[in-house]
Amino acid sequence: MSSHQVLTGFHAVVARLRHAPDSIKELYVEASRRDKRMQGFIEQAQAANIKVRPVATDRLDGLARGTRHQGVVALAEARTLALDVDEVLDLLEDRAEPALFLILDGVTDPHNLGACLRTADAAGVHAVIAPRDRAVGLNSTVQRVASGAAETVPYIMVTNLARTMRQLKARDVWLVGTDDEASASMHQVDARRAMAWVMGAEGEGMRRLTRETCDELVTIPMLGSVESLNVSVASAVCLYESVRQRQT
């Protein structure tokens, strides 16, 4: 089952039904649910020629492995939206569109990653990049919290994050890291150019080499008593600065 994903909850499974229905191998629903939402979901699955298997709640609990499933669990082939950053950049060159990446240096909380992916989708991010050895993968919790965004935003896990960052720089992608000690504000960034926002891990921030590889370090203005923002909130604030500038 290593090549398969467990998708739980309506959002994650509906997104897969919409984008890659053929990848769904088994689909289970809670037999006792007869509400309108479930009926509509079953009709959508059947329209995609997916066999729906009604089962008891405890069977769903076992399949979901502790993840909240809302009465819906699918076993599906793992999908890869993009293999590496060059693939994404080559596609953007064809569109003449400035790249927008989100780099997460060691985010290990699946709820934070799911929220980051959801915001990345909303802000038009072309890919989210993370180190392979210091980050959470696309598990069922991430899929559920992302509310379908894991099906639309490539999540590229790399062996060497600093090397990938240098690869981006070689292709004229400007790397902007967030750091509480920086003197410049995030609002001073030229976010209309091809760029990547670089965020540190929960509590620890960016690693030294990640920080040193950035082209620019900026701070998020903090006017209250708390010292920092959750990584998913900080990502949203910065990404929407890019959205604001690119729409003006």
Query: Could you report the per-residue pLDDT of 96-155, keeping only the tens digit for each?
Result: 789 999 999 989 899 999 999 999 999 999 999 999 887 888 888 888 888 777 888 999
Residues 6+ apart with CB under 8 A from 194: 92, 98, 99, 100, 171, 172, 173, 174
Pair 185, 223: CB distance under 8 Å: no
Which residue numbers belong to the known binding site for S-adenosyl-L-methionine?
A: 200, 220, 229
Which residues make beta-bridge pairs with 26? 75
Taken in order of first residue, the domains within the chain and their CATH numbers are: 4-77 (3.30.1330.30), 85-246 (3.40.1280.10)
How far apart, in whole angstroms, are the C-alpha atoms of residue 32 and residue 168? 51
Which residue numbers belong to the known binding site?
A: 200, 220, 229
Q: How far is CA 125 from the centre of its chain?
A: 9
What is the chain's pLDDT, residue by residue, as a tens digit (248 residues)? 346 788 888 888 887 888 789 889 999 999 999 899 999 999 999 999 999 999 999 999 999 888 889 999 999 887 767 678 888 888 887 677 899 999 999 898 999 999 999 999 999 999 999 998 878 888 888 888 887 778 889 999 999 999 999 999 999 999 999 988 888 999 999 999 999 999 998 777 899 999 999 999 999 998 887 777 889 999 999 999 999 999 98
Residues 6+ apart with CB under 8 A from 70: 8, 9, 10
